[in-house]
């Protein structure tokens, strides 16, 4: 198919994971594949990693979890989203773990168990500083009392999420970790021995080793991308995605030729302008056109004018690429390399936004 392609490097994905394992030691590894595997394709990622020892997958919605199951993934799967009564029966059918983040969730689980004699595995989510989903720290005793009175509920995990573990100043993350340690200790004192205790995200894997507990969650780091520009990348990883587009047309133009909408780019000399079949509808970061470039045969060439919905243009000067050849937008492939982090920094966004924007007509190819 002619069009944009996201090449997913399976060898790098596996190697990244093994390098992360060297960092975290003998702990359970929870790989986050929500948002279609951060744009990489959840089934692609999960199928590559499913056979690796002790891998648990994390998603946000039940639809994402069902997609993995229907794609042949049998590993344990934790759903991060707010729990909903209406789909509890599906968690049994698909063997999924749920996130309990409020007393109403625990009561719904009790009711479901009383009515069906069954219940999904539960992970308790405590809010320690994100002000998002989660029990308040002050509710811990109430939660544990409820569980003591309803010991038939299969609570196996407890977790929280850092707000600033990928920043240079770790004081707030330390505050969150202290709260979480207290909450876990209260649970242990109440007679609950959690099989899975997890708080680390990618930033904490790099920045805060004492937050590892017995399980570690990784998202962006597994995909070979720095979670922020404030962390030291002490784990050796490579980008798993190479985002490329094909050249579909080349024309030689004169000096003074305007290119693309608004005429904001004007050629200064005789030059080769190539049309690349990829636009912002496919995930191309539109603001990147102002100072952006692509990589072709190891060299960088300037993007010429505004990116369109379906296409953008590149000024190749006197270089003569061939129709059908590809240019690299970001990633690392065939001697071409542009870090997605550099684009995020230039256009003042995050790598998370750029990667999860890869959609539409972009074909993901596992290599």
Same domain for 205 and 86? Answer: yes
CATH code where residue 130 lies: 3.20.20.10
Please check the confidence at residue 272 and state whether its pLDDT lies above 80. yes
**Residues 159-195: tens digit of each pLDDT:** 999 999 888 899 999 999 999 999 999 999 999 999 9
Same domain for 170 and 114? Answer: yes
Same domain for 188 and 245? Answer: no
Residue 136 confidence (pLDDT): 96
Same domain for 24 and 132? Answer: yes
Nearest Cα neighbor of 299 from 334, 272, 251, 250 is 334
Residues with a catalytic annotation lie at: 34, 261
Same domain for 41 and 126? Answer: yes
Name the band, by pLDDT with cuts 50, 70 and 90, for residue 314.
very high
Cα→Cα distances 322→274, 276, 296, Å: 9, 11, 11
Distance CA 304, CA 313 (A): 5
Is residue 231 situated within a structural domain? no
Is residue 266 situated within a structural domain? yes
Same domain for 215 and 284? Answer: no
**Residues 220-248: tens digit of each pLDDT:** 999 999 888 887 778 999 999 999 999 99
The DSSP secondary-structure symbol of 83 reads P
pTM of model > 0.75:
yes
Same domain for 211 and 69? Answer: yes
Residue 102 burial (10 A CB sphere; 0-12, 13-18, 19+) = middle
Is the separation of the CB atoms in 13 and 332 below 8 Å? no
The domain tally of the chain equals 2
User: Is 254 strand, coil or helix?
Assistant: coil
Is residue 194 situated within a structural domain? yes
**Residues 275-293: tens digit of each pLDDT:** 999 999 999 999 998 899 9
Same domain for 109 and 23? Answer: yes
Same domain for 159 and 246? Answer: no
pLDDT, average across residues 327-349: 96
Same domain for 50 and 193? Answer: yes
Residue 73 confidence (pLDDT): 98
| Spatial CB neighbours of 98, under 8 Å, sequence gap ≥ 6 | 78, 79, 83, 88, 91, 105, 109, 120, 121, 122, 123
Q: What stretch of H or E contains 183?
A: helix 171-189
Nearest Cα neighbor of 4 from 292, 285, 337, 291 is 285
Percent of the chain with pLDDT over 70: 100
Is residue 229 situated within a structural domain? no
CATH code where residue 305 lies: 2.40.37.10
Is residue 228 situated within a structural domain? no
Is residue 19 situated within a structural domain? yes
Q: From 170, 192, 223, give the residue that closes a domain.
A: 223
Is residue 230 situated within a structural domain? no
Is residue 348 situated within a structural domain? yes
Same domain for 281 and 165? Answer: no
Same domain for 44 and 102? Answer: yes
Distance CA 241, CA 36 (A): 13
Q: What are phi and psi of 267, to 5 degrees?
A: -70, 145
pLDDT, average across residues 106-111: 98
Domain of 287 in residue numbering reads as: 241-366
Q: What stretch of H or E contains 363?
A: strand 363-366
Question: And the tokens for 52?
Answer: 């690796």
**Residues 123-137: tens digit of each pLDDT:** 999 999 999 999 999
| Average pLDDT taken over every residue of the chain | 96
Residue 232 confidence (pLDDT): 77
Percent of the chain with pLDDT over 90: 94
Name the band, by pLDDT with cuts 50, 70 and 90, for residue 1.
confident
């Amino acid at each position: 198919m002619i069009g944009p392609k996201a090449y997913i490097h399976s060898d790098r994905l596996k190697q990244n994971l093994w390098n992360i394992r060297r960092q975290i030691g003998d702990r359970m590894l929870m790989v986050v594949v929500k948002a279609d595997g951060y744009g990489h394709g959840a089934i692609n990622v999960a199928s590559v990693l499913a056979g690796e020892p002790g891998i648990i997958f994390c998603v946000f919605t039940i639809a994402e979890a069902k997609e993995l199951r229907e794609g042949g993934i049998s590993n344990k799967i934790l759903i991060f989203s707010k729990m909903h009564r209406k789909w509890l029966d599906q968690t049994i059918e698909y063997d999924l773990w749920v996130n309990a983040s409020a007393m109403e969730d625990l009561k719904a689980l009790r009711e479901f168990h009383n009515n069906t004699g069954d219940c999904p595995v539960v992970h308790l989510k405590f809010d320690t500083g994100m002000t998002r989903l989660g029990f308040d720290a002050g509710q811990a005793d109430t939660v544990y009392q409820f569980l003591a009175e309803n010991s038939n509920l299969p609570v196996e995990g407890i977790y929280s999420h850092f707000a600033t573990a990928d920043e240079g100043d770790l004081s707030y993350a330390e505050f969150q970790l202290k709260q979480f340690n207290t909450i876990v200790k209260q649970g242990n004192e109440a007679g609950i021995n959690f099989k899975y205790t997890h708080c680390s995200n990618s930033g904490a894997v790099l920045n805060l080793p004492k937050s590892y507990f017995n399980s570690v969650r990784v998202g962006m780091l597994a995909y070979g991308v720095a979670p922020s520009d404030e962390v030291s990348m002490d784990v050796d990883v490579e980008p798993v995605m190479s985002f490329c587009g094909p050249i579909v047309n080349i024309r030689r133009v004169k000096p003074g030729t305007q290119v693309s909408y608004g005429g904001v780019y004007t050629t200064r000399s005789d030059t080769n302008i190539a049309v690349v079949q990829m636009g912002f509808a496919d995930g191309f970061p539109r603001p990147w056109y102002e100072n952006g470039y692509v990589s072709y045969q190891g060299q960088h060439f300037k993007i010429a004018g505004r990116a369109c919905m379906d296409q953008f243009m590149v000024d190749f000067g006197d270089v003569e690429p061939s129709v059908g050849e590809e240019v690299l937008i970001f990633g690392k492939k065939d001697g071409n390399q542009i870090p997605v982090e550099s684009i995020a920094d230039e256009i003042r966004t995050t790598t998370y936004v750029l990667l999860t924007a890869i959609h539409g007509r972009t074909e993901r190819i596992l290599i």
